[in-house]
Amino acid sequence: MSLLEVRNLVVEFPTRRATLRALDDISFEIAPGEILGVVGESGAGKSLTGASIIGLLEPPGRVAGGEILLEGQRIDNLRHEQMRHIRGRKIGAIFQDPLTSLNPLYSIGRQLVETIQTHLPLNAQQARERAIQLLKDTGIPAAEQRIDHYPHQFSGGMRQRVVIALALAAEPKLIVADEPTTALDVSIQAQIIGLLKRVCREHGAAVMLITHDMGVIAETCDRVAVMYAGRIAEIGPVHEVINHPAHPYTAGLMASIPDMEEERERLNQIDGAMPRLNAIPTGCAFNPRCPQVFDRCRVERPELMNAGATRAACWLHAAAPAAVAAPGAAA
């Protein structure tokens, strides 16, 4: 059974001129112990998807359609106070900038102990012992002493470990990690990735890992969802999506990654840019940038369909007349 189910999620932003649709009919699920990567260019809707699940959409953004279910319970229509309890107890959040998640006026220990006692039936001493153990588990040395330090006394990598400890404080079932390694150097990135994988393995937690870094996805995730212009362009097992991309956008992302074994002066690039919300093209949103575009792409929007081992929203994989199917030979 899936731990998290997102069904036909629509997120809109009303403006004076029009209502902009930022997420358009997104569906996916995550099983216990699974890491799902969500990848795409800036503006694809990755962080909005995470914020919708956590219940932290910035006004005037709103969930305008669909459902979000956690352990079979619908959570997108809960009141603020109900969602606040679920957010700490069942959903942990890790954000890109740890300084936005930590209160600079409180010691790390106070923040951890308060979070633990809010959600778990422990007294102050038990909560402090758990906090120290969490700091040890996340790789912070001399945790017994560091627990009384303040956020400014930690390096960026150490602060991110504290944020992960906070996210794990109440033993959540789901962790939404939004660009958790972006601001860190490569060696610290590897340690944070290893930590997330261990959490999944040891606690059976599901992780939704939002990033633009395909290297992090390849190293960490079981499955990956590639997003473009507020929709899922392709979703499937990570090794299949990386090695045999079925959507031209995914293929473009893969081709833009430098190959250490190949000598090239220029990297491949995807021409053009992500469309603005008020100017999303008719048909497939990727069609103005797609090297394999044909007439149907410009007028009819594709849904996710079977494309070998993955599912892709691309007409190249439609069971269609020979004239339409022909470009698929080049895919």
pLDDT, one tens digit per residue, over 13-49 is 999 989 999 999 999 999 999 999 999 988 999 999 9
Q: What is the pLDDT of residue 328?
A: 42
- Residue 326: what pLDDT? 39
Residue partners of 32: CB distance under 8 A and separation at least 6: 3, 173, 204, 205, 206
Neighbours of 79 (CB within 10 A): 7
* Buried b or exposed e, range 279-316, using 16+ CB within 10 angstroms: ebeebbbbbebbebbeebbeeebbebeebeebbbbbbb
Contact 200, 193 (CB under 8 A): no
Per run of 10 residues, the mean pLDDT along the chain (length 331 residues) is 94 93 96 94 93 93 96 94 90 85 94 94 96 91 96 91 90 92 79 83 89 87 96 97 95 82 75 92 96 96 95 88 41 37
Specify the pLDDT at position 184: 77
What CATH code is assigned to 4-221?
3.40.50.300
Q: Supply the pTM of this predicted model.
A: 0.90
Pairing of strands 231-237, 310-312: antiparallel
Residue 95: its pLDDT value, please?
A: 86
The answer to whether 32 touches 173, Cβ cutoff 8 Å, is yes
What is the structure's pLDDT at 264? 67
| pLDDT for the residue numbered 14 | 94
pLDDT of residue 240: 96
Residue ranges of domains in the chain? 4-221, 251-330
250 vs 233: CA distance, rounded Å: 8
pLDDT at 52: 96
Other beta carbons less than 10 A from residue 54's beta carbon: 21
